[in-house]
Amino acid sequence: MNPSPNPVAAPILEISHLKKSFGPREVLRDVSFSVPAGAILSILGRSGTGKSVLLKCIVGLLKSDAGDVSYKGSSLANPSALSALRQTASYVFQQNALFDSSTVYENVLLPLQARRRGTRAEWDMRVRSILGRLELADAAQRYPSELSGGMQKRLAVARALVTDPELVFFDEPTAGLDPLRRNAVFEMIAKLQQESKFTAIVVTHDVQEALVVSSRILWLDAGDVRFEGTSADFSESRDPDICAFRDNIEALREAVRSMQTNAAH
């Protein structure tokens, strides 16, 4: 399933020597990496290693202390480049950040209204099309609070994809979901990426699922990049630290699964 971006494709996003601290706590030490156009890059790491902070520094929701982010070769320190990124990129929040006073239809419509491209009829067609693709057409006039967790996640993805973005950031898209729904979300990301050819950056804890759908892996540990490469290299790596990380996560997940199974019996 791993999409294979053109290895000679110019990077769509380049992060150089990014640093971020909160008081005395260094969250990002010196993070550098690049994202080839068309790739699905998964950023892995334990809780509190700065994965979400990294994403928010890239899109400008948090101001980094040092370093630079370039989008298509232009530094995002330049407001017009940041605006260009926000015009062509979308962000799926960990807690979805849906507009709770607006209907499902209005939630998906807003990014189109904001970008002011196309006519009202085109907006309507695109909203109905993406709601149909994500099986939300019947819920168009409902409010987010009336949807299940899985439907809310699909709505967040629909809102992100309705503008046909070139780059999509997914911040912990499977947080709080059960294993079946986690798989469904990763399948959905992979399928939509195949169809729409956007570049995806996915922050996640789910190593196995990430390895299946991602073309590239970035392992962040204590604010440092410990691995950057293809998912095949990551899964076959004999580096003791990488093995320990993979095994620890899987061992923990296996323990939780067996606890759940025992509880069910």
Q: Which residues bind other proteins (CB under 8 A)?
A: 59, 61, 83, 86-87, 89-91, 93, 95, 97-101, 110-111, 113-116
Nearest distance in Å: CB 113, other proteins? 4
For residues 156-190, b (16+ Cβ closer than 10 Å) or e, as one string?
bbbbbbbbebbbbbbbbbbbebeeeebbbbbebbb
**Which residues does residue 147 pair with via DSSP β-bridges, in sequence order?**
none
Taking the least distance from each CB to other proteins, the nearer of 33 and 91 is: 91
Nearest distance in Å: CB 215, other proteins? 24
Q: Are 207 and 44 in contact (CB under 8 A)?
A: yes
Taking the least distance from each CB to other proteins, the nearer of 97 and 140 is: 97
Nearest distance in Å: CB 159, other proteins? 8
Taking the least distance from each CB to other proteins, the nearer of 7 and 23 is: 23
CA dist 181 and 9 (Å) reads 33
Nearest distance in Å: CB 251, other proteins? 33
CA dist 200 and 164 (Å) reads 12
Taking the least distance from each CB to other proteins, the nearer of 17 and 120 is: 120
Q: What element of type H or E holds 92?
A: strand 89-92
